Amino acid sequence: MPLISVIIPTYNRPQRITECLSALAALNFSPEQFEVIVVDDGGCLEVHSAINNLNSAVDLTVVRQDHAGAAQARNTGAASAQGQYLVFLDDDCLPEREWLAALATRLERGEMEAVAGQTVNGCPQNLYDCASHLLSYHQYDSYKTAGAPVEFLATNNLAMQAELFHTVGGFDPNFILAYEDRDFCDRWLRFGYRLTYIPEAVVRHCRSMTLRSFCRQHWTYGRMASHYYNLADKQTSSRMHRHLPRLYLDVARSALREHGIWNALPVIALVAVSQAIAAAGFVTERVFWTPER
């Protein structure tokens, strides 16, 4: 059986998944030691024809499901996986050559932990990508401090023992559009397992966002945050609220550090816009959402 199963959900992005698989084929890691499972989330664009030429380069399986979102797609991939370890990757991420070797080295220690690598902004000239990247990964910098608690890891560069994944219950498919990673990390920690950050496992994340996709993304984040707070326990919700001021301060510091004073100003402005949009999505979902839906 393959040592590692790399699971990638995709939806109507044949070019993205082709580029991602090409990067996987170039890994500095024995092809016999990992399999790749692409889960087509009910898209209308043909996936097989886009990746047929890569079948010989990687041990590739394509599984199709009815459109149900990335959380369910990851669960579908995990159900088909043969590996002792599961590694989750997004189709718009390009792993660097040593990425899987770094994850495998940590996983083979056999500890009860989920590990995540470093996600680098692959489109640094795109201000929308810069703002979204800062919001998604600002807290990763704090994980580099020895002894710093790790409370959240994103699903686009995440690995764990398959047995522990199934014990926790996988991803909650009710989070169709976002926040399935935060919910999963909360449950993972409640089981007494650890989250660990290893910055040497690097992927490049390039969303190539436009104003429209940027606004849509953060509107969606706001909506899914409403569901998350409905389901989260009071202690988790209280902790998230207390961390908001620090979140914005950390984002501003990261923007200044990465982009300089003048270049950081438009990025910080976009962060503010994104939070206004997310707040609108949050309130709208609170007003119109019913438990029966």
What pLDDT was estimated at residue 241?
52
* pLDDT tens digits, one per residue of 225-275: 888 887 765 555 545 555 656 666 777 777 767 766 767 888 888 988 998
What pLDDT was estimated at residue 251?
72
- Burial (CB count within 10 angstroms: exposed 0-12, middle 13-18, buried 19+), residue 234: exposed
- Burial (CB count within 10 angstroms: exposed 0-12, middle 13-18, buried 19+), residue 279: middle
Q: With contact defined as beta carbons under 8 Å apart, do 236 and 244 qualify?
A: no
What the chain holds in terms of domains, given with CATH numbers, is 4-288 (3.90.550.10)
Rg (CA), the chain: 19
What pLDDT was estimated at residue 292?
43
Which residues in the chain come in under a pLDDT of 50?
A: 238, 291-293
What pLDDT was estimated at residue 146?
67
CB atoms within 10 A of CB 46: 10
Cα 165 to Cα 102, 107, 136, 162, 187: the distances in Å are 20, 13, 23, 5, 11
Give the span between the Cα atoms of 8 and 50, in whole angstroms. Answer: 15
Q: Which 8-state DSSP code applies to residue 231?
A: H
* pLDDT tens digits, one per residue of 25-60: 999 999 999 999 999 998 887 777 667 766 667 889
- For the whole model, what pTM was predicted? 0.90
What pLDDT was estimated at residue 198?
94
**Widest pairwise Cα distance in the chain:** 53
Instruction: Give the H/E segment covering residue 168.
Output: helix 162-168
Give the span between the Cα atoms of 103 and 113, in whole angstroms. Answer: 12
At 127, give phi and psi (nearest 5°): -65, -35
Q: With contact defined as beta carbons under 8 Å apart, do 77 and 9 qualify?
A: yes
* Helix, strand, coil percent values for the chain (each to nearest 5): 55, 20, 30
| Amino acid occupying residue 95 | P
What pLDDT was estimated at residue 268?
84
What pLDDT was estimated at residue 176?
87
